[in-house]
Amino acid sequence: MDYQTTVEKWGVWEVSCAGTAEGNPFTQQWIRAVFTGKSETVEADGFYDGDGIYKVRFMPSFTGEYRFCLRASFLEQEQEGSFWVTEPAADNHGPVRVANTWHFAYEDGVPYYSVGTTCYVWELQSDERIAQTLASLRESGFNKIRFCIFPKHYDYNLGEPRSYPYEGTPMDSGVLTRENFIQYTGKTQGNHWDFERFCTAHFAHIEACVEKLQGIGVEADLILMHPYDRWGFSQMNEAQDDLYIKYVVARFAAYRNVWWSLANEYDLMEHKSIRDWERYAAIICQKDPYRHLRSIHNCIAFYDHARPWVTHCSIQRQDLYKSAELVSEWRMRYRKPVVLDEIAYEGNIEHGWGNITGEEMVRRFWEAACRGGYPGHGETFLADDDVLWWSHGGVLHGESWKRVRFLLRILGETPGLGLAEKHRSWDEVCAVPESFTEAERTGYHLFYYSFMRPSFRKFYFDDVYAYRVEVIDTWNMTIEEAGVFTGSFRVELPGRQYMAVRVQKA
């Protein structure tokens, strides 16, 4: 055996050992380990990593000494060992959990306010573009990114990926163009894959990308399946799907920044049924000992987010106009965190989901956040090389991403954990702390006026407390002190769109 003697809390500990490479190790062999510390006992499945090497990974949730017992189909007897878990580094807060019903926090209790982005196959691009994407993420402040394990075939996604998840070869499709890509959609003829033999280099590369995301504080929302496929990965049978799900969980579950998204636009996958999705979810719940966040994403029809395995709602807006405006309704319906992973994209492509303005994107950010939800970003600006952030990553060209850090700053200054909408007036969105205790103690109110342009607003809370008032320009990212007031008072505003007023007890 080869294994680490120390690892930090919520880090990735790994043991590897040599075994047989004969036959098909992915289906004919198995390896797993039981880890025992002073406060937990965890059993984790391992995986075959090629070249006769088998691995098991573990994410400890406590400090101190752990012992492990390793078993494998190719080992004549159990192997044992021990290692020490140290305190986590300052930037290591553990995996993200659901907190306070509608919100999130890291395992150590630090609040997590999700403002993520979508780059479907950024990790399957060149090393140069991957580096550009990571640099853009660092600059923007996004703290989550959605992306696929399988390659994607769709408009502006006509090239072959850097690698494939299975051993074999793709169809000889010639040169794909915007004019003929439909011809290959859903076609599997010409593909030659062994769906029982994974390309370990493909998964090892994705792991490296997950690690890099972890290093810059970004959650990796892994999309396990999607319908945009010309290689046949969306049409595998039950046994092949189950093998894939188990392999993915075994490889990725020990990374603290992983989330599971069962599908992007599950309702477009005509070869999968609700029974299939429920089976995949059951496998993840059984095989992931760390209980990572789990969701499933729609095109038109929502999945039943009330299902017990669903930890949070991953929503694509269903209406051309309404998106973030419905967050309060979805919160009450499902009583879970509402993440708007697709509220349309800032850009200028021909599709209606990909050509809203940066101002409208930021308005949707703020509408979602003030109603107690979590907005998601996307960008689809035309380029001569068809490289769009929404799928390939690279460099951001829009305006909405520049406003993410400012929104996160405001959310981070929320008393308690998370916001909720409070109905006060028909012509504003009023957010207060989700916790009634914090709302009463702080008197915190965040009023958002979106596309309206009031030149002043009048307020009254009580005759007892003094209230400190700030005027926030959410587009220009400024905060100005308006004064301290008691009783009824009037706040002057600039008569511009996208303004907010923050009120707190002085």
Model pLDDT, residue 173:
57
Percentage of residues of the chain with pLDDT beyond 70: 96
398 with 460, same domain? no
* Distance of alpha carbon 302 from alpha carbon 455, whole angstroms: 40
Q: Which two tokens stand for residue 470?
A: 């700030």
Q: Tell me the H-state helices in 82-176.
A: 127-140
Mean per-residue pLDDT for 427-446?
Answer: 96
Last residue of a domain, one of 51, 86, 121: 86
Mean pLDDT check: name the lowest of 30-39, 61-70, 164-173, 392-401: 164-173
Place of tokens 């929503």: 315
Mean pLDDT check: name the lowest of 26-40, 69-83, 186-200, 245-259: 186-200
pLDDT in tens, 449-485: 999 999 999 999 999 999 999 999 999 999 999 999 9
430 with 459, same domain? yes
**CATH value at residue 469:** 2.60.40.3950
- Does position 186 have pLDDT exceeding 80, yes or no? no
- Does position 172 have pLDDT exceeding 70, yes or no? no
405 with 384, same domain? yes
In a domain, 219, yes or no: yes
> Residues 6 or more apart from 494 whose CB is under 8 A from it?
455, 471, 473
Q: Which residue has the higher pLDDT, 187 or 321?
A: 321
Mean pLDDT check: name the lowest of 31-40, 76-85, 186-195, 325-334: 186-195
Model pLDDT, residue 385:
86
* Distance of alpha carbon 258 from alpha carbon 473, whole angstroms: 34
Q: Count of domains in the chain?
A: 3
pLDDT in tens, 233-249: 999 999 999 999 999 99
β-strand partners of 52: none
Strand 445-448 relative to strand 429-433: parallel, antiparallel, unpaired? antiparallel
b/e map of 463-480 (b: 16 or more CB within 10 Å)? eeeebebbbbbbbeeeee
393 with 461, same domain? no
Residue 188, class by beta-carbon neighbours within 10 Å (0-12 exposed, 13-18 middle, 19+ buried)?
middle
- Does position 78 have pLDDT exceeding 90, yes or no? yes
Model pLDDT, residue 188:
66
378 with 306, same domain? yes
* Distance of alpha carbon 105 from alpha carbon 408, whole angstroms: 14
CA distances, 506 to each of 323, 415, 457, 482, 500 (Å): 35, 14, 19, 12, 18
In a domain, 496, yes or no: yes
In a domain, 94, yes or no: no
408 with 320, same domain? yes
231 with 307, same domain? yes
Which structural domain range is residue 436 located in?
419-505
Last residue of a domain, one of 412, 429, 455: 412
Model pLDDT, residue 363:
98
In a domain, 68, yes or no: yes
> What's the residue count for the chain?
506
Place of tokens 């010639």: 174
51 with 146, same domain? no
3-state SS track over 354-384: HCECHHHHHHHHHHHHHCCCEEEECEECCCC
Model pLDDT, residue 189:
66
In a domain, 62, yes or no: yes
174 with 299, same domain? yes
In a domain, 40, yes or no: yes
> Residues 6 or more apart from 251 whose CB is under 8 A from it?
47, 57, 203, 207
In a domain, 312, yes or no: yes
Look at residue 403 and give its three-state secondary structure. helix
35 with 78, same domain? yes
**CATH value at residue 26:** 2.60.40.10
